[in-house]
A and B are shown apart, each in its own frame.
Chain A
């Protein structure tokens, strides 16, 4: 498949990464090379193969419905940039 600069910009937007015009051209060259390698996968008929999403076939383990964590908000907030009255202060992003 052939990628375009617009594809790169679209993917960068989906990934929430700002990308300049110049960067997108550079990334396009590198991604095109990587996708040409990835294209090798298409030659194999996998119509009768079950996908393997994980290295171990296991069922989701559930823990007992009991409290195991203690309140550590003071410790966790000690590394926060801004805290007030036990709350995290975040930048204003909505006018």
Chain B
């Protein structure tokens, strides 16, 4: 049951082999058993989850079914869910019970999916290791000495450890794909604007994008079908016809042209990651794909550009946390300004404060043109690199992360090293392109490796097709950490 695909779970529910309440209880029991060690969830509310499962059972009984009706889904704690504690991994929001649902939560509720709990994450989604959460680090279920990746590490851990069959996540510079790679699961960041950001606590608004995490590409397609779609409440939401992202899963790859950027296969990548990625690409060649060497000449600039733009937007978005309206408030202060300063000093963690300071600096008078404006111009150059590349190929592939999961504490004292974890992922956010990571074997210390696939705008169905075809001839995506039950 814990290892079943979404399709298999839906079939069992439809055939009345199990009820949604029973299924939810199975996963809650598994969470209760593993969460004390892995810390994947910040909030579990069995009463609310089971109430939703009862509603789902009634929907199934009355014939109002959808592929996700009655299926437990873990929700990243960045999404506001009515009546649920919604902390965004922070002390600042440690007492915030949301009075409303984010659009994607609303959509999961409408189809009768069950919220199985709110997953742990880096504070305000800032981090690449899930060590900046106010609620403590998440551990990698493949090796508890290792980080799960960030910032959606709780969601990735929950799926990898089979504590939930699927989870939601968000990606500002790689936060869906990097933890998916490090935990050996599948995750997709859609084209910017396809998934509503309404009710998703903002980090860097021009880069943030919600998306799903699951065991397989087939599961991701079912989740995307629910999560995407126009939302009038999000001014950046795209007005497009609804798509069925599962429609092309079974298509043969045919004459697929895979672009391999020479900059992604240069120095900096670990040998074991390189070897797993090359083996995955060889497998795709066997399925009919051809490869072509391409160049993304501004790859090295993506990290500096990202670390100007994202903190600049974050410094603005997080200015609302000042102790006045909601969230944490310092108890001792002398005047209004002192209250702001003490609240923000005590309520934010070190990484968040660091990024607010960077953002404030690059936006300040005298430095705006040299940093922020220059970064925006380079963002266009980085996006143009992709436009040129897609004239030669259909998709771009490489490693998701330069190395396998590092040890807890290994990089936490050196933010610069931590930032480089996103070297292959952040460019897709800057350009707004869809990108995904799928399991592609194991590297050093037997820790998972992810294959990174970047598609052209709105080519999610094609990317899922490629990933699904790869997953038909490999079994990396069905492997689970050996010590888990039913693995």
* A contact residues vs B (CB 8 Å cutoff): 7-8, 11-12, 14-19, 27, 30-31, 33-34, 37-42, 44, 46, 49-56, 58, 60-61, 63, 72, 75-76, 78-81, 90-91, 93-94
Q: Is the CB of B207 within 8 A of A55?
A: yes
Assess A33 versus B357: contact at CB under 8 Å? Given A18-B345, A38-B304, A40-B304.
no
Q: How far is the CB of A83 from chain B (nearest CB, A)?
A: 12
Q: Are A27's CB and B354's CB within 8 A?
A: yes
Min CB gap B288→A, angstroms: 32
In contact, A41 and B344 (Cβ under 8 angstroms): no
A73 to B361, CA, bound (A): 37
6 A-B contacts (beta carbon < 8 Å): A42-B374, A44-B301, A44-B381, A58-B193, A60-B235, A75-B99
Known A14-B360, A40-B304, A55-B431: A78·B99 in contact at CB below 8 Å: yes
Q: Is the interface of B mostly helix, strand, loop or mixed?
A: helix
Asked whether B241 is an interface residue with its Cβ less than 8 Å from the other chain, the reply is: no
Pair B99/A46 contact, Cβ less than 8 Å: no
Shortest CB-to-CB span from B318 to chain A, Å, is 9
User: Which B331-347 residues have C-beta < 8 A from chain A?
Assistant: 335-342, 344-345
**Smallest Cβ distance from B434 to chain A, in angstroms?**
11
On whether A52 and B357 interact (CB within 8 A), knowing A34-B416, A79-B97, the answer reads no
> How many Å lie between the Cα of A78 and that of B98 in the bound state?
10
Q: Are B235 and A11 in contact (CB under 8 A)?
A: no
Chain B contacts with A in 395-452, Cβ cutoff 8 A: 415-416, 419, 429-432
Report the separation of the CA atoms of residues A80 and B327 in the bound assembly, to the nearest whole angstrom: 9
Report Cα–Cα, A72/B100, bound state, in Å.
10
Q: Please judge, given known A-B contacts A18-B342, A58-B236, A90-B324, whether A41 and B381 are in contact too, CB under 8 Å.
A: no
Q: Does B146 contact A (CB under 8 A)?
A: no
Smallest CB–CB gap between A56 and chain B, Å? 5
Let me know if B300 is at the binding interface, CB within 8 A: yes
- Set A11, A44, A54: member contacting B206, Cβ < 8 A: A54
Contacts of B96 in A (CB 8 A): 79
Are the C-beta atoms of B336 and A14 separated by less than 8 Å?
Answer: no
A1–chain B nearest beta-carbon distance, Å: 9
Q: Let me know if B416 and A16 touch, CB within 8 A.
A: no
Set of chain B residues within 8 Å of A17, measured between Cβ atoms? 341, 344-345, 348, 353, 356-357
Q: Which residue of B lies closest to A64 (CB)?
A: B232
With A41-B301, A94-B336 in contact, do A15 and B360 touch (Cβ < 8 Å)?
yes
Q: Smallest Cβ distance from B98 to chain A, in angstroms?
A: 8
Residues of chain B lying within 8 A (CB to CB) of residue A78: 99
Q: Are A93 and B335 within 8 A (Cβ)?
A: yes
Residues of the A chain whose Cβ atoms lie less than 8 Å from the Cβ of B207 = 55
Residues of A within 8 A of B467 (CB): none
Question: Bound complex: CA of A19 vs CA of B419, how far in Å?
Answer: 23
Chain A's nearest CB lies how many Å from the CB of B69?
A: 27
Q: In residues 294-347 of chain B, which contact A (Cβ within 8 Å)?
A: 298, 300-301, 303-305, 307-308, 315, 319, 322, 324, 326, 329, 335-342, 344-345
B280 within 8 A of A: no
Nearest-neighbour CB distance to chain A for B423, whole angstroms, equals 11
Task: Give complex CA distance A55, B197 in Å.
Answer: 14
Report the Cα distance A37→B414, complex, angstroms. Answer: 13
A residues less than 8 Å from B298 (CB atoms) = 44
Q: Are A50 and B380 in contact (CB under 8 A)?
A: yes
Chain A residues contacting B303 (CB-CB under 8 Å) are 37
Given the complex, which residues of A lie within 8 Å of B380, measured CB to CB?
Answer: 49-52
Q: Whole-angstrom distance between the alpha carbons of A46 and B376 in the complex? A: 10
Residues in A neighbouring B431, C-beta threshold 8 A = 55
A11 to chain B, nearest CB (A): 5
Interface hub of B322, B354, B360, B381 (most chain A Cβ within 10 A): B360
CA distance A50 to B304 in the complex (A): 18
How distant is the Cα of A54 from the Cα of B354 in the complex, in angstroms? 24
Among B439-477, those with CB < 8 Å from A are none
Q: Is the CB–CB distance between B432 and A56 below 8 Å?
A: yes
Q: Which residues of B contact A80 (CB under 8 A)?
A: 326
Q: Which 7 A-B pairs rank lowest in CB-CB distance, beginning with the nearest?
A: A55-B432, A51-B376, A46-B377, A52-B380, A18-B345, A55-B192, A93-B336
B354 touching A30, Cβ below 8 Å? yes
Q: Does B375 contact A (CB under 8 A)?
A: yes
Q: Which of B335, B344, B376, B429 is within 8 Å of A16, CB to CB?
A: B344
